[in-house]
Amino acid sequence: MRHVPEDELHAYLDQALSRSQCIEIETHLARCAPCRDDRDQIAGLRDRTTLLLARVAPRVSVPPPYAQLLARGDERRKTSWRRLAVLAAGLAGAAVAGWGMRAMLDPHTPAGVGLPAAVALAAPADPTAPVTAESVIRSREAAIPSLPESHQAAPTVRLASTTPPVATPAATGRPVGGLALGDGWVASSRAEAEAAGQNLIPEVPGLTVSGIRLRVGAGQERPAVIVAQTLPGGGTVYTVEGPVDAVAELVADQLSSGVFRASEPTRSAPDYLPFGSGYRRAPRVLAVLGALSSDSLNVLAQRVTLR
Amino acid sequence: MADEIERLYQTMYSTVVRFLYRKVWDADRAEDLAQEVFIRAMAHRPEKPRAWIFAVAANLARDEARAAVRRKKHLTLLTNDPVTLASPMVSPVDQLERKEQLSKVHEALAVLSPRDQEVLLLWDAGMSYTEIAQQTGLAVGAVGTTLARARKRLVEAYDQQQEEARAARS
């Protein structure tokens, strides 16, 4: 007759065995006195362990309100964006200083020097999360005014591939939907945005694009782009894609306004540039802004395609 | 899902604090770390939140221990003993006795190997054999063996200390 091993008795008492295993052990215990003794001994050992561990427990603590924890999480996300903005500004400064030095030392050096690429970015949200893009898109969590018709009118500005845009006052600095933008953002049609330097237009699939804004930075990198898209239930989400400094600055501004939340910064697709495009490569990120929960925005950011 | 994390926060917070306390031996720090775990859970939206929460808690406690070693800061049990902050109804003699008990269990736990300790604390936090196996990388069948050894060693170490204390007094 096979006696019940010690570890199996532990598992039996811990209710970690299947019903059939339990029946097998119980049948054996009914017939075997030594195993019953073992079982009682192990039950005693188990109880003593639980008792000893109960002595090393901190005082019963009341958890702080969940809302407080949520607020801390949101604050942390904002801080991470602000840090990124500061880091990006530092990188841009260093790059500019680097070019200056290079130009002084060697006047023949071309301007196509890349930014240091080591920008640490937060990992994107877990794609398996049950908040789905569809559920976000379907739900009406936001009521931001969408882009007025007049703003969707084709702009009068066409961007040349290598020269900064000469924007008309009407098209520059105009808000896109509820997003208040600083100088340099130019309204653009899709065709123009695409033509303006092989820009890949980021968008959440399945949503109507209600406006596009482009901004050419001080560097030689491809312009930053904002794509406003309308949610079926109303409200607008904004996908911002561009060089790290431009995106971080915009997002930090919008977060400080308190109207919008932002997804975690996500690294964009590698910046492939065709030969002779006139642009230089730069690390790029994208983020989705809107008056939705951060979770929803993270999910949408996961879905953004660059076309 | 947000509700799931909130529900777990309401039901598991004190368990996570207790789990962490037995690793960092500082009640306030255990609470800070537990809140950190839940903030991360909100951001990451794990698929299996319960197991994820304990995995992150264990990692944070490990980082904390490493940092403490780096700082050469010896966290002593008695200087920051949460039990001493308990009800003022407890007499000083009782408090002292509880402190001693706590100290002994702490020392007995320290006798266990890190893995045995981890398995025992996870079990005491209410995790199933399957969850413990997933977190520690053990086979499910090995969890029972590990728990059997851990329980025996803990009780033996504790009893031995009691013996030594009795011998010292007499």
Contacts of residue B99, Cβ cutoff 8 Å, sequence gap at least 6: B78, B81, B83, B84
Q: CA-nearest residue of chain A to B108?
A: A52
Nearest to B38 among A7, A45, A69 (CB): A69
CA distance A185 to chain B (A): 31
Residues A34 and A139 in one domain: no
**ipTM reported for the complex, 2 dp:** 0.79
Contact B45 A295 (CB under 8 A): yes
Residues A155 and A281 in one domain: yes
> pLDDT at residue A25 above 70?
yes
Nearest to B39 among A42, A72, A295 (CB): A72
Residue type, A70: L
Other beta carbons less than 10 A from residue A208's beta carbon: 12
Structural domain includes residue A283? yes
Contact A59 B38 (CB under 8 A): no
Contact A63 B152 (CB under 8 A): no
Structural domain includes residue A105? yes
CA distance A92 to chain B (A): 29
Residues A48 and A125 in one domain: no
Classified by CATH at the fold level, domain B1-75 comes out as: Rna Polymerase Sigma Factor; Chain: A (1.10.1740)
> pLDDT at residue A227 above 50?
yes
For residue A133, what pLDDT is reported?
A: 55
Residues A103 and A39 in one domain: no
Which chain B residues touch A16 with a CB distance below 8 Å? 128-129, 143-144
Percent of chain A with pLDDT over 90: 17
CA distance B155 to chain A (A): 7
Contact A63 B13 (CB under 8 A): yes
Q: Enter the tokens of residue A84.
A: 């990124």
CA distance B70 to chain A (A): 25
Overall size of chain A counted in residues:
307
Structural domain includes residue A238? yes
Which chain A residues touch B83 with a CB distance below 8 Å? 58-59
Q: What is the CATH number of domain B90-170?
A: 1.10.10.10
B157, containing H or E segment: helix B140-169
Contact A56 B105 (CB under 8 A): yes
> pLDDT at residue A10 above 80?
yes
Model confidence at A155, in pLDDT bands (50, 70, 90)? very low
Write out pLDDT tens, residues A164-191.
333 333 334 445 666 777 777 888 888 8
Residues A177 and A227 in one domain: yes
Nearest to A45 among B6, B108, B151 (CB): B151
Q: Enter the tokens of residue A29.
A: 């215990």
Task: Identify the CA nearest to A176 among candidates A149, A205, A213.
Answer: A213
Q: Which residue has the higher pLDDT, A202 or A195?
A: A202
Q: Which of B8, B12, B14 to mutate to test the interface with A (most CBs of A within 10 A)?
A: B14
Which chain B residues touch A76 with a CB distance below 8 Å? 39
Which chain B residues touch A47 with a CB distance below 8 Å? none
Q: Which of A59, A78, A298 to mutate to test the interface with B (most CBs of B within 10 A)?
A: A59
Residues A40 and A122 in one domain: no
Ramachandran category for residue B48: left, alpha or beta (phi over 0 → left; psi -120 to 50 → alpha): beta
Q: What range does the domain containing A22 cover? A: 6-55
Contact B152 A45 (CB under 8 A): yes
For residue A153, what pLDDT is reported?
A: 36
Q: Is the pTM of this model over 0.90?
A: no
CA distance A143 to chain B (A): 21
Under-70 pLDDT residues of chain B:
1-2, 69-91
Averaged pLDDT score across all residues of chain A: 70
Which chain B residues touch A69 with a CB distance below 8 Å? 9, 35, 38-39, 42
Contacts of residue B6, Cβ cutoff 8 Å, sequence gap at least 6: A66
Nearest to A63 among B9, B85, B101 (CB): B9
What are the boundaries of each domain within chain B? 1-75, 90-170
Residues A50 and A112 in one domain: no
Task: Identify the CA nearest to A199 among candidates A260, A240, A236, A259.
Answer: A240
Residues A252 and A274 in one domain: yes
Cβ of residue B67 closer than 8 Å to a chain A Cβ: no
Contacts of residue B120, Cβ cutoff 8 Å, sequence gap at least 6: A49, A53, B109, B112, B147, B150, B151, B154
For residue A137, what pLDDT is reported?
A: 55
Write out pLDDT tens, residues B112-126.
999 999 999 999 998
Q: How many domains does chain A have?
A: 2
* Average of per-residue pLDDT across A74-91: 70
Residues A76 and A217 in one domain: yes
CB contact residues (below 8 A), chain B span 98-157, against chain A: 98, 101-102, 105-106, 108-109, 120-121, 123-124, 128-129, 141, 143-145, 147-148, 150-152, 154-155
> Which of A18, A34, A55 corresponds to the end of one domain?
A55
